[in-house]
Amino acid sequence: MYKELLTEKEAAVYIQMSTSFLSKDRMDGPRKNRTPGPPFIKLGRSVRYRKADLDLWISQHKVERFFLN
């Protein structure tokens, strides 16, 4: 079954980051010299992450390096 909304734990596993990273980003917001966390949805006291938002967040942080010989 496909889940559109992921819990914090599921999102952390999906993006291979800690739940602490996600929690601190939500509480502190963007911090200087830190990668901002992905967008989240607040439903009452529950926090959810859209899988599509996580995929976009990952692609936005892709770094490509080209080396010339």
Residue 2's pLDDT is what?
A: 63
Mean pLDDT by 10 residues, the chain (69 residues): 86 95 89 87 94 94 79
Give pLDDT, residue 35. 84
Whether residue 66 is contained in a domain is answered as no
Q: Would residue 69 count as lying in a domain?
A: no
Domain count, the chain: 1
Nearest one of 64, 15, 59 to 40, comparing CA atoms: 15
- Tally of CB atoms within 10 A around 15: 19
Domain extent, residue 48, equals 5-60
Q: In what order do the strands lie in the sheet with 5-6?
A: 5-6, 46-50, 41-43
Q: Crossing angle of helices 8-15/19-28, nearest 10°? A: 110
Domain assignment of residue 43, yes or no: yes
